[in-house]
Structure 1
Amino acid sequence: MTFRMQFEEDLNTLRDHIKELAIGTKKALRRSVDALYNKDIHTAREIMEDDSELDAKEEQINEEAILMIAKQQPVATDLRRLIIALKISSDLERMADHATNIAKATIHLGEDHTIHVSPEIQEMADVALDMLDLSIKAFENEDITLAKKLGEMDDIIDNKYGSLIREMLEQTAVNPEQIQHVMQMAFSARFIERFADHITNIGENIFYLVKGKTYDLND
């Protein structure tokens, strides 16, 4: 096997592992939001336990990418591919942490709370999950056209988040005794908003990979 063939094979393996991490991260967010709506403490605890597996997957990706840099000393676009792989895996791991934080909020709320869970939290999560799918597709194909769409989708989440926070403030004004529970809902929405922000980071990194220069998706 030639040096180039070996590099391409190792790079494809690395991409596969990033996709696996993305799938695990997507599953964590979906399950954490479902647990929030269903007051499912058991599932929330499982999500927290499973987070260590995603941490280990990120470490594996980091080790593989660093080993490739050390052994094959890539330059130009090949080096950028490995650096971007490291950055994307870091963003995915942080996204999984935000999903875990929603699970923690569910546990804090408990099974007996009576507070209404706004449908906007689910709507935010749905957009975020679509963003994640699109970002991985853009990463696989090194497609900056797809990557640029992530900024527009992030704007949708930001707008929903702003609307939700206003709703939460109104709830606390009417029911000040529920402020602790309302705050957990607000935190959960914030975790989804931050989840989406990391996806825009992925989009910006894809743009850097392809063009060799930075691009702000939030402009």
Structure 2
Amino acid sequence: MAFDQQALSQFKEKLLIMASHAESVVTRAVRAYLDRDEPLAQQALETDEIIDQFEIQIDRIALDLLSQNPGELELRHITCGMKIAQDLERVGDEATTIASRSIELMALPTLDTPLDIAEMTFLVNAMLKDALDAFVVGNTVLARGVIPRDRQVDELNNTYQRQLTELMEAESNNIRRCLHLGVITKCLERIGDHAKNIAEDAVLLHEGTDIRHSEPGTE
């Protein structure tokens, strides 16, 4: 049986659409938190179901393609695509949690000492966008540039978690709000992890080089 190139094209197309939805849901969830915009948060929650359905469709096509004895390049497209789809689904889950926690926070007064996470949201959004752009156009230089930024996100999350702990220790009335914020910053940190994974898979797909577990510049 000849390898179905048309099905591979469909696989790639669905993955691109899924990537677009994942980027969109993160943008909506983050903006909903920053603007205290409940309708926008609800939109983010609805988009996650679409992402889940795309992952199911992509997995189904991938399993069929794998049964057709694909060549080396086709196999790389399929395996990297499946891993990227899994990361995109998890990005959607994290964005959903951000949206739902944001809705919870909207029902509560803001903290007397607000936690400014704008820097982290900007960095994570940029990482995800660059990772997806690198995957789509085959820009491995852009992909490699995503990877070291993950450490910045981790450091910011650690800083925010310390600040939230201090706020809870200072005033018990802050605890509920701080717990929600702690979950949001952890979700952002995880989205950064998934962006890094996608960037690594983009390099593997387009160069054939596995750079996982490598220090930047040493692979």
TM-score by length of 2: 0.86
Residue 39 to residue 137, structure 1, CA distance change in 2 (3 Å): closer
Taking structure 1 as reference, are residues 49 and 178 closer, same or farther at Cα in structure 2, changes over 3 Å only?
Answer: same
For residues 56-111 of structure 1, the C-alpha deviation after alignment (integer angstroms, 9 at most, x for no partner) is 111122222222222x3203222121011011011001001000001111222233
In 2, the alpha carbon distance for the partners of 1:214 and 1:93 equals 22
Q: What's 2:196 paired with?
A: 200
Question: By how many angstroms is 1:145 displaced?
Answer: 2.5
The reply to whether residue 79 of structure 1 matches residue 42 of structure 2 is no
Give the match for residue 187 of structure 1.
Answer: 183
Q: Which amino acid aligns with 1:105?
A: R
Correspondence for 1:170 among 166, 172, 178? 166
Instruction: Return the letter of the residue paired with 1:153.
Output: R
Counterpart position of 1:21: 18
User: Could you tell me how far apart the structure 2 residues matched to 1:35 and 1:117 are?
Assistant: 16
Take 1:217 and 1:99, find their aligned partners in 2: how far apart are those partners?
28
Higher mean C-alpha displacement, 146-155 vs 37-46 = 37-46
Q: Counterpart in 2 of 1:34?
A: 31
In 2 relative to 1, CA 117–88 (structure 1 residues): closer, same or farther, beyond 3 Å?
farther
Structure 1: where are the runs of 5+ without partners?
none
Distance 1:136 1:114, change over 3 A: closer
Match of 2:47 in 1: 50
Paired position in structure 2 for 1:90: 86
Once the 2 structures are TM-superposed, how far is the Cα of residue 33 of structure 1 from its aligned partner? 1.5
Higher relative helix content: 1
Alpha-carbon distance change, 57 to 173 in structure 1, aligned in 2, over 3 angstroms: same
Matched residue type, 1:25:
A
| Structure 1: 4+ residue segments shifted above 6 A | none
The more displaced of 97-106 and 204-213 is 204-213
Greater Cα offset, 182-191 or 19-28: 19-28
Question: What is the distance in 2 between the residues matched to 1:149 and 1:171?
Answer: 35
* 2:212 alignment counterpart: 215
Q: What does the per-residue CA deviation read over 1:36-68, in whole Å, with 9 as the maximum and x for residues that have no partner?
A: 223333332332222111111111222222222
Size of the alignment, in residue pairs? Answer: 213
In structure 2, how many angstroms separate the alpha carbons of the residues matched to 1:45 and 1:171? 29
Distance 1:180 1:217 in 2: 39
Q: Is the 8 A contact 1:29 1:125 kept in 2?
A: no
What is the root-mean-square deviation of aligned Cα atoms in Å?
A: 2.2
* TM-score normalised to structure 1 length: 0.86
Structure 2 contact 22–92 (Cα < 8 Å) conserved: yes
